[in-house]
Structures are given as C-alpha cells and as structure tokens.
Amino acid sequence: MTDALDKTYDPSAIETRWYEFWESNGHFAPSGEGTPYSIMIPPPNVTGSLHMGHAFQDTIMDALIRHRRMLGHDTLWQVGTDHAGIATQMLVERQLLASDISRHDLGRERFLEKVWEWKNTSGGMITEQLRRMGASVDWSRERFTMDDGCSRAVQEVFIRLFDQGLIYRGQRLVNWDPVLHTAISDLEVVSEQEQGSLWHFRYPLSDSSGHLVVATTRPETMLGDTAVAVHPEDERYSHLIGKTVALPLTDREIPIIADSYVDPEFGTGCVKITPAHDFNDYAMGERHCLPMINIFTKDAKLNDVVPETYRGMDRFDAREKIIIDLEALNLLEKIDPHTLKVPRGDRSGVVIEPLLTDQWFVAVETLSKPAIEAVENGSIRFVPKQWENTYYAWMRDLKDWCISRQLWWGHRIPAFYDDAGTIYVAESEEAARKKYSLAPDISLTQDEDVLDTWFSSALWTFSTLGWPDDTDTLKRYHPTSVLVTGFDIIFFWVARMIMMTLKFTGEVPFKTVYVHGLVRDAEGQKMSKSKGNVLDPIDLIDGISLEDLLEKRTGTLMQPQMREKIINTTKRQFPDGLQSYGTDALRFTFCSLASTGRDINFDVGRIEGYRNFCNKLWNATRFVMMKIDGHTLDELDTTHMTVFDRWIRSSLQATESKVAQAIESYRLDLASQAIYEFVWNEYCDWYLELTKPILADGGASKETQAATRRTLVGVLETILRLAHPLIPYITEELWQQVAPLIGRGGDTVSKAPYPISDASEVDTLAEADVEWMKSVIVAVRTIRGELNLSPGKEIPMMLAGGTSGDRDRLARLESLIVPLAKLSEIRFQDVNDPIPASSTQLIGQLEVHVPIAGLIDVEAEVTRLEKQVKKLEGDIRGLDGKLNNPGFTNKAPADVVERERGRLAEAEAQLAKITVAIHELRRG
C-alpha cells in the first residue's frame, strides 16, 4: 500500500492484477441490495474474437454498470456467448477439412461432439478478452445459448408457439444457400450492386406468327419459365395476351399473361416468369395459378426436370451453354451491360438461390403488434430517438420469419413425424407420444433441422434468468434496464427480443435501447480484413510491432493483390507499430468518442492523448503523495481553507453534476470531457500549482497547510471515484494508495460511493476570486510570451484602472500572484500616475502593464495593440448598430439588451485604454 509510485504510468504493470483481484473477490456479483439495475451483454459469437465494436460496446456497458454499482444499486451484468450456428459449424468443418474429413464422414452425432469439444477448448478466447477490457460482468452466471437452461427455454417457446398456431411448417420459396445447404432469413441476405448483363432472347410465338423478346439477367432460369408477362395496357403486346409461346430448348408451350407488375419501360416490356426461382415471379405465379417448376438441386445444379444436356450442370455453366445454344438457334437478340443487385449469403458469400423447400416459420403478425405498441407508448425508449422510426418501418412491414436451418449445430427442432408425415411437437419423442396419445407401434422420427441462432438470442433476457421457471432472479432483474447495441442488429435481434419477451413474460425485455455507432478507421472506412485496416483492441492495449501488425493484416488475405497496398498504408500509418496504451486509455478514448449514436472514427492520435491523460493523473497522485509524505491528515478544518481550497472544491461539485447528468443521458463523451477538463485544466494546471507556494516552507500557517493537504488529497480521492467507471484500473491502483490517507477504507474503489454533487460546497465568491486571479496571471504570461521573455525571469507588473473590487482582490491575492507569475513586484498605479511605456493586457477595466523599457521591440508591441484596436472597433460598430436598432432594444429581453450595453461600454473603455497605451509607447 505504501509502495512509491513509479515515475511513469505503466498500464501493463497494474491491469491484470486488479482484474484478478476483482473477479476472485466476487466484486462483480450483484449485491442483492438496492435498486436492481441489469444489463444483458449482447452475447458475442463463441467463435469470435474481440473486435473494436465489442470493445466499444463493452466499455459503454461497463461504465454504466460501474456507475450504478457505485451508486449502491443492485447491479447485474449478465454475460454469455452465442452458439452462432452457421459460423461455428463452418469453422469446425473447415478444421476437419484440413484432415480431409467432411462432417458427413463423421455423421451428425460425432460431428456435434467435435463442435462441443472445440467450444470447450477454444471457445473461451472472447471471454478472456472481455476480461482484458475490464468488463465487470458476473462470471459466476456466465451462460451459453445452447446450455441446458437456454435450450429448455427454446424448446418451451417453440412448443407453445406451435400449439398456438404461431409456428407453422410449409413449402415456401426461401433464400437458399447452395454452399451451406441451408435456408437463411431475408436478413442474412446481402445484396450488392454488381456488373452483369441483360440478355435479350426471342421466344417464338406458338402460331409461328413471330416472336416476343424477353430480357433477363438470369438466362439459366428460362428452363423453368412457365409464362411470359406483359403489362395489360401495353399496346405493343395487348393482341398477344392469351396466346402462347414455344419455350426454346424445351418442348413446353407457355402462356402470355397480363400483369400490371410489369414495367413497360424496362427492357422490352416482356418478362419471362420463373415462379420457382424468383420472389416476384413466385407472387405472379400464385396470382395466375402458374405451374412452379423447380429446376435446381440443393447445390444449385440443374436437376432432372430440364432437358438432358443441361442436367447436372452448375447454374453458371448452364447459363453459358444456354446463351450459346440460343444464339445458335438465332434466338439471341442482343446483350446489354447491366448493373444489378446480386443477393449473396452473408456467411458464405455465394449467390443465393430462391428455392422451394419445406421450412418452419414464425407467424409474426400477432407478435409484432404489441412490440410496436411497446415503443409507441414509451415502455421502450430508443436512444437516440430516431432509431424508433427505423424500428417502426421494419416492424410494420414484417414478413414471416423462416426459423429452420439445415444445419447440425444448433437447437434441434422439437418436432416429430410419423410415416404419414403428421407433425407432433413436444420436447422429446416420449413427450410427444404422451401429448398426442400415440400408440407405441407408431414410429416417429425427429425433424433434422435446427433453429436459426437468432431464435435463441431472442429469448436472451429471460432465458438467462431461469425462465420458464418463475425464479427470483427473473422477478428481480427483469425487465433489464438498458440494452446497449449496434444498429446493425436492431432487426436481427432487438426487434425479435421485444416480440418474444412480450409474448412470454408479458414484460418488455429492456426499458431503454442505447444504439451506438460503428467503429471505423481513422479515415472513416469500415474496418475489414480485406481492406487490411483492422485494429485489434488487444494490440492497442498491449502494443504490437510493425512486423507483427503487417503479418496480422496480410497473413490470411483473400485478395493477394491488396497485399502491397496494405503493407504500404500500414507502414505509413504506424511506422513503429503500435505502442502499448493500456485498457484505460482505450476505454477513455471510446467514451470520449461516444457521442449521440454516430459512427466513430478511431484515430490513434486520440488514444495517445488519453494515455497521456492517465499519465497526468498518475503523476498528480505522485505529487500529492510526496506533499503528504510524513504528515498525518486530520479532518478538514474548513476555517483554515484558502480561497483556492474553496474554489477547487466548488468546481468539483460542478464537475460531479456534469458527469452524473452525462452518464444518465448516455453521453459518455460529455462525462469524459468533464473529467478530463477538471483533472487537467483545473486540478493539475492550477490547483496543484497554487498549493506549491502555500506548502513551501514558511509559505503559510500550519493550519492552512493542513487544510490544503487535506483538500489536495480529498479532491484527488473524489476524482478517482468519479473517473472509475471510465478508467477502472488506474483509478483502483491510485485509490488504494490515496483513500487510506483520509481514512476512506474499503476493499475496492469499485464499491466505494459514487461522488454526488453537494450544493453546500459551491462557493461562487471563491470561484470569482480565482477566475480573476487566473486572468491576471494569464495576462502576465501572455505578455511574456509575446515579448519572448523567459518564464524564469522576474519582471515587475503594474496595475491601473479597475474597480475597487480589483483592488480588494489584489490585496487578498497579491502574495500568491507574485510567485505564480514570477514577478519582482506589483504596483497599483493611481489614476494620475504616469504609466511608462509597457506591454499591456486588459481584464475588464483593469489594465495590466509590464514596463518594457529597453526590453523589446516597441513597434512589435504597437502592431499587436493595433490589431486589438481593429478588433475592438469592429465589435463596437456591431454593438452600436445593434443597440441603435429599435427592433432590438424593444423586442429583445431586457437582460440581453443590458448585457449588450455592458459589452459596448467595456469595449469602448478598452479601446480608449489601448489607444493611450499605444500613445505612450510611441512617445516613450
């Protein structure tokens, strides 16, 4: 406890030590007392590693939780990971593939064993990294979306929804990923603009009276065409409606139909209709009762429905062949270049194929209504508010949610089929037999599919608290207080959580949704592996050499042509790699960038500045410890406080209320700014300096020195508590040394009371005195700076003009101004005393002169003052105009008019004084 602090702050020397201390002492567990406050961590993928987005988000949550914990609330930060169906299955499959094994070689059961094995050995990386961030989650309650409890909740929800008819199974056109061999939801499809072609083909009329030209971006689907559509009012084609065309390359005749969906302006105005492979065509097919011909296998190869020559071909090979074949038949009219949106699976990156398959769906309509209302009536509030509109827009146009996935890793659908295909839904085969009173000789097989990962995530706030049991934790911590999340998963997760939670608990999952922005690189580019601009939060904490950083950024590159560029940019940006900044600096940076919901551009310059801030705090503590060394600290004797003591304590109150208000309104940027300014610009720059002359030998009375020491430590101790939610490690380290000095015990600062602004400490008089004194000192320093006088050189100062208040203050503060401004003397000139040629600064009506006889270039000083004259003249013109405008004087509030009058008077007086000063200089 009494170890001397090192001269330089070294985060690596303290951080892990304190985390182990907090965790092993159970300081993060809910206290069970006080107002409950709970946050559910958005469960990171168990396959994941911590990226900047996590680090940002975790910092916000941790700051909120630590703040409440110190306020004495009963805080639960629930931690856990997500099984991430597709991602995890892909990862383990890839590993197996290295040994040339496919999951089918192993079979379902053994494959799942492998996945669990992987999860148990390697799945903990992200939770270790979470610890590095200082996240004060309750590890004793760590959960996993596929643990027994969550799985039970998933089954229960599925069964209840099915029994109520809100989950159904049916054959629908869904987004099919031909590589992963599974359906995916609309949200998992990303469509990007890509360069393609628009092929124009002639479809001969069956009566040989000519042909129609259809335009398509997907020629291969023509084998599944079951109609050609035109707009009903398109005069070019109206006479053909009802006729048929002979579909080339097949022996089928398909009708020409009319549908107003067709845009006559686009292409030729004729659309080939493939109901089984296009969502629009599917809808049209239903409207016109067209046959739906599926021409693809699950690999997106052509199936046996198509003419023999195309069977078994990949869809893109078939495209080439069909184009060639049609051209050979002289049916290719032309090819236009065309940009189009190509839908790809967000995981696999392959082109999605709309495919007719049997899938499970959640009927969302009855669930979405209360979910919309919960936001409308304010039960759930979005911060920033504009996201509510995004939420409404999506919720009001919601399609049924496809929840089945043709994967192995995930929650297996609790549905069983008999030989006739009848569906029985129950948690097990045994339960199904009982529930549906099935004879023992009826054989049942379980559905092969698993559920969309987001299905279990949707239950996260209550499944982790013990639901479906009516547990005490559920009662106490649900609804949770706030959800902290990125906008990218509002639809995936937030909306679905709201629907499911309202349905099954009758409560909202959270009262507030705090939506933060994306973390981008310094140029505002999205961080991505392929761009090679990814920063790893752990590297910012620990530092990384240029060599290792280059290896990281180029080691597993998909597009090798980017390699050179990435190497160059990285070398230019980080010629020496990354320094070790520590967790606290990283966290403080995130906080200071966390303004209202906009994306943040992460610039390493910022983190460096905040690391310096930590160093500042560190050294301020060293200073205080040195000043205290050898003295005992009694209770604060308020009668012996100096004006500075009263000023800094007063200013601290203002900071405390700013910080409290900022955190409560989720403005961690404002909180960090308030702390930064107070610590650096007031406590360090002024207060510590002001204590030096007082604490010097013979500087002040014993009692005054004691009060100063007590204030020095007291304010610092408060600062450490105030800053702890943002920068937990350094504040713990320092607090452990500082707090005992004033008898503030406690195991950890993380459970010490959070500072609350105390109005009785506010002292406006002291604030005014100190502000005045600061401006006098700054005036002298400015003169010094302008005249290039060395800071150490003692110079005389003369004051003139000013009010009786100025004189009064001088009398009280003179002895402190002299050493701080490095003055040889201070003289107050009377009205009639001559002022020698000097450099002049004005503080209101008070003139600060430093005689410059022989010291400097008179012309330079004159030029400087003339610049001020110009500015003042401008100000006066503006103020004059304003005050001579009856519109202003009549309509503006009296206090505003009064203020402007005051400004005018002051500017005029200043102008007069400067004019005199210039005159003196010229003469002298």
Partner RNA sequence: GGGUGGAUAGCUCAGUUGGAAGAGCAUCGCCCUUACAAGGCGAGGGUCGGGGGUUCGAGCCCCUCUCCACCCACCA
Minimum CB–partner distance for residue 407 and RNA (Å): 22
Minimum CB–partner distance for residue 125 and RNA (Å): 27
Looking at the Cβ atoms of 264 and 468, the one nearer to RNA is 264
Q: How remote is the C-alpha of 618 from its chain's centroid?
A: 28
Residue by residue, DSSP assigns 286-301 as HHTT------B-TTSB
Which has the closest alpha carbon to 407: 445, 359, 443? 359
Minimum CB–partner distance for residue 283 and RNA (Å): 7
Looking at the Cβ atoms of 11 and 30, the one nearer to RNA is 11
Looking at the Cβ atoms of 312 and 609, the one nearer to RNA is 609
Residue 536 CA to residue 546 CA, distance in Å, equals 13
Strands, E, within 754-816: which ranges? 795-801
Residue by residue, DSSP assigns 464-529 as TTTTTS--HHHHHH-SEEEEEEEGGGIIIIIHHHHHHHHHHHSS-SEEEEEEE--EE-TTSPBP-T
- Find the helix packing angle between 125-132 and 15-24, rounded to 10°: 110
Looking at the Cβ atoms of 284 and 426, the one nearer to RNA is 284
Minimum CB–partner distance for residue 652 and RNA (Å): 16
Residue 864 CA to residue 866 CA, distance in Å, equals 5
Minimum CB–partner distance for residue 627 and RNA (Å): 8
Residue 338 CA to residue 211 CA, distance in Å, equals 23
CB 652, CB 632: distance < 8 Å: no
Looking at the Cβ atoms of 30 and 219, the one nearer to RNA is 219
Structure tokens at 189: 């499809």
Minimum CB–partner distance for residue 364 and RNA (Å): 13
Structure tokens at 774: 């600061």
Looking at the Cβ atoms of 156 and 603, the one nearer to RNA is 603
Minimum CB–partner distance for residue 898 and RNA (Å): 11
Looking at the Cβ atoms of 122 and 525, the one nearer to RNA is 525
Minimum CB–partner distance for residue 76 and RNA (Å): 30
Residue 380 CA to residue 508 CA, distance in Å, equals 7
CB 220, CB 351: distance < 8 Å: no
Per DSSP, what are the bridge partners of residue 841? 848
For Cα atoms 234, 237, 243, give the angle at the middle one, nearest 5 degrees. 135
Looking at the Cβ atoms of 854 and 887, the one nearer to RNA is 887
Looking at the Cβ atoms of 217 and 303, the one nearer to RNA is 217
Minimum CB–partner distance for residue 740 and RNA (Å): 20
Looking at the Cβ atoms of 465 and 670, the one nearer to RNA is 670
Q: Do strands 381-383 and 510-516 pair parallel, antiparallel, or not at all (unpaired)? A: parallel
Task: Give the chain's radius of gyration (CA, Å).
Answer: 37
Helix (H, G, I), strand (E, B) or coil at 868: helix
CB 492, CB 190: distance < 8 Å: no
Minimum CB–partner distance for residue 840 and RNA (Å): 13
Asked if the peptide bond before residue 343 counts as cis, ω within 30 degrees of 0, the response is: no
SS (HEC) of 354-419 = EEEEEEEEECCHHHHHHHHHHHHCCCCEEECCCHHHHHHHHHCCCCCEECEECCCCCCECCEEECC
Minimum CB–partner distance for residue 623 and RNA (Å): 3
Looking at the Cβ atoms of 159 and 726, the one nearer to RNA is 726
Residue 564 CA to residue 302 CA, distance in Å, equals 41
Looking at the Cβ atoms of 21 and 680, the one nearer to RNA is 680
Looking at the Cβ atoms of 287 and 812, the one nearer to RNA is 287
CB 789, CB 854: distance < 8 Å: no
Looking at the Cβ atoms of 64 and 675, the one nearer to RNA is 675
Helix (H, G, I), strand (E, B) or coil at 737: helix
Minimum CB–partner distance for residue 501 and RNA (Å): 22
Minimum CB–partner distance for residue 620 and RNA (Å): 4
Quote helix, strand, coil % in the chain, to nearest 5.
Answer: 50, 20, 35
Minimum CB–partner distance for residue 673 and RNA (Å): 7
Asked if the peptide bond before residue 178 counts as cis, ω within 30 degrees of 0, the response is: no
Looking at the Cβ atoms of 448 and 523, the one nearer to RNA is 523
Minimum CB–partner distance for residue 396 and RNA (Å): 10
268 exposed, middle or buried (CB, 10 Å; 0-12, 13-18, 19+)? middle
Looking at the Cβ atoms of 413 and 776, the one nearer to RNA is 776
Q: Indicate the residue type of 471.
A: T
Minimum CB–partner distance for residue 180 and RNA (Å): 20
Residue 762: which residues within 8 A CB-CB, separation 6 or more? 650, 653, 654
CB 420, CB 428: distance < 8 Å: no
- Tell me which H or E stretch contains 826: strand 823-828
Minimum CB–partner distance for residue 401 and RNA (Å): 12
Residue 532: how many other CB atoms lie within 10 Å: 20
